Amino acid sequence: MKSPDQQTSTHQLRADCANCFGLCCVALPFSRSADFAADKKAGTPCPSLNTEFRCSIHTRLRPSGFNGCTVYDCFGAGQKVSQITFGGEDWRRHPGAGPQMFTAFPVVRQLHELLWYLTEALTLAPARTLHPELRDLLAETEELTLLGPEELVALDVPAHRQRVNVLLLSSSELVRAEVRGTGKGRRPKDRRGADLMGARLRGADLRGVSLRGAYLIAADLRRADLRQSDLIGADLRDADLSGADLTGAIFLTQPQLNAAKGDGTTRLPHALDRPAHWS
């Protein structure tokens, strides 16, 4: 169970579209595919974006062929760039700010995703010895999100991400080490980056398994036990999580769940929501 302070922190890392100028609908490009019904260039407003910076087809994105929009999450970067980086000046009334706003947004989005992981890592009791370093890096990452537009664009995000990843990986190993000690001779496999597309893993015991960056597209994970598994970066598109137990799964995000399938019996971590399109 996460503490009240942690719940507040993760709440701040959720998208608040009411305080954003539709940045994800403008800054990001997409191509006609199974996820998008049309092409759109970066920096060009989506035709469905209305004058109030809202999606005019929000309630029917999936039947309209825009599944990709339903799985996206900015981790709260949109409102930060809109209200803090640019002080509430929107790109329609201040078109000169548009190009900088659209290039700064993806950078802050990446930093906010790192904030989500670092915040979660601070709730992991087995990683308590790393908490001081995690707090320092969390504070540093938060400071980076407050940089000005030009400084944000010049930021070496991959280098910073690598520093964060070192701590997240160590945190993961400490959590999963406890699982290894729960069964005689049990040592979960490391499936990091594994190609598990369409894999038949129904009812599989995946407790404590590293699935970092694994390709689980359309995998059958019905009733699988994923407690304490590391799912950072795992591709769960169309993976069937019906009846699966994800309580205690680490570094799982809302976009990953949104891209997957599930039902009312799927057990989720406290900080995440059951996607509306799940059965």
Q: Mean pLDDT over residues 233-262, rounded?
A: 97
Pick from 5-9, 104-108, 137-141: least confident: 5-9
188-279 folds as Pectate Lyase C-like (2.160.20)
User: Which residues, 6+ apart, have CB-to-CB distance to 60 below 8 Å?
Assistant: none
Sign of the alpha-carbon torsion through 137, 175, 215, 275: negative
Q: Where do the structural domains in the chain lie, given as residue ranges?
A: 4-28+72-176, 188-279
The residue assigned the tokens 């990709």 is 68
Contact 230, 245 (CB under 8 A): no
**What gap in Å lies between CA 274 and CA 197, rounded to an integer?**
23
pLDDT tens by residue, 121-170: 999 999 999 999 999 999 999 999 999 999 999 999 999 999 999 999 99
For range 253-279, the mean pLDDT = 94
**pLDDT per residue over 208-225, tens digit each?**
999 999 999 999 999 999
Mean pLDDT of the region 2-20: 71
pLDDT surpasses 70 at 232: yes
How large is the average pLDDT for residues 53-63?
A: 94
Rounded CA-CA distance 174/189 in Å is 15
Residue 42's alpha-carbon distances to 27, 124, 156, 274, in angstroms, are 5, 38, 21, 30
Q: What is the pTM of this model?
A: 0.92
- Judged against a pLDDT cut of 50, whether residue 3 lies above it is answered with no
So what's the pLDDT on residue 10? 72
pLDDT score at 279: 76
Four-CA torsion 115, 117, 119, 120, nearest 10 degrees: 160
Question: Which ranges of the chain would DSSP assign to H, the alpha helix?
Answer: 4-12, 67-70, 77-80, 98-121, 131-145, 149-154, 157-180, 254-259
